[in-house]
Copies of this chain bind each other. A is one copy, B any other.
Amino acid sequence: MKSTFLNAINQCNEEHIPVWFMRQAGRYLPEYMELKDKHSFKTRTHTPDLMTEISLQPLRRYPLDAAIMFSDILTPLEFMGAEFDFSSGGPKLQNAGESTLRNIQPLNTDDMAFVYEGIGKIKEQIGEKPLIGFVGAPFTLASYIVEGGTSKEFSKVKHFLFSNEKEFSKAMQTLASSVGHYLKAQMQAGVDAVQIFDSWVGFLNQDMYEKHILPHMQELIGIAREGGKPIILYSQPSSHLLTSFAKLQTDAISIDWRVRLDEVAETLDKVGYKGSFQGNLDPVATTLNWEDAKFYVEDVLSRAKKANILNRYIFNVGHGVIPTTKFETIEKIVEHVHSFRN
């Protein structure tokens, strides 16, 4: 296999450390901002040619080791009874609340045909380079549906879970099965790996996670496994849930910047985790001049080396890159990571 990214996931990478950035497509690139001025978010995510163009933009600038499809974790929800409006900054759901979650409908994965078409087009252009697909995890999607957007405390969705476990579980089942099948369909359309984003699950404690979330994650992953491609799990702040994540035995866990990579590797090793690692750079490092950023990049790399996981580590940020990210710094980071092992 030629891809260092896929080799790292398969724990047999002997070449340079692969690197990609969460949110590398969209958000901060001027060529993306141009498209943003011309087309609504819905048009950008629903038009295979625009999705392709935006996914390719960062690869033209930097020698990244993987592409990630441009889309949104909330996109499938519009076919399930919860269409978000993206016109005013963050996502907003008009009819947000428990009853919308209670009435959530299973996804007919055929409704996402425009995404599969985009995947095909991206793959045509990037050849051997791997393409990453993704979904939002059930709890994170449930949070958006009940809260109507992001939240400071996620008290509404947690109130639903804490006061009506049965109905909450029913909705989680629908979400898990839907995104599981959607991941499988992305794999069949050509993605080489997928990432599950569980952005908000860190607001639950470990007991709640194990009792109310883990079974649905297992269901989701079981379905996605039928697609035969590797699965990466991402969440933050996640340090208190890491040993539970290990039980899911995904091919990789993407960790945030709050924890020490070598300590996480040791902790997960102790509980029998067999997968690869991704992430750990503080996203704020990408907003610094290279001379300042270098320290943070080297710290992560040296911890990966110390933990003896260089053949199963993928460099990435611990959370998406931010709008004030510096292009030259990203360029230098990629160069530095690539040369670390050569």
Contacts and interface: CB of A to CB of B under 8 A. Distances in A.
Interface stretch (A5-13, A66-74, A138-146, A280-288): A280-288
Given A152-B150, A239-B240, A240-B258, A284 B205 contact: no
B153 A292 contact: no
Interface in A154-196: 155, 158-159, 162-163
Interface residues of A, number: 34
A202 interface: yes
A163 B240 contact: no
A111 interface: no
Contact of A287 (B159, B299, B319): B159
Contacts of A33: none
A49 B288 CA distance: 48
A124 interface: no
A155 B317 CA distance: 14
A285 B162 contact: yes
B284 A324 contact: no
A206 interface: yes
Interface of A: 150, 152-153, 155, 158-159, 162-163, 202-207, 237, 239-240, 257-260, 282-285, 287-289, 292, 296, 299, 319, 322, 324
8 contacts: A153-B283, A155-B287, A155-B322, A162-B284, A162-B292, A202-B258, A204-B258, A206-B259
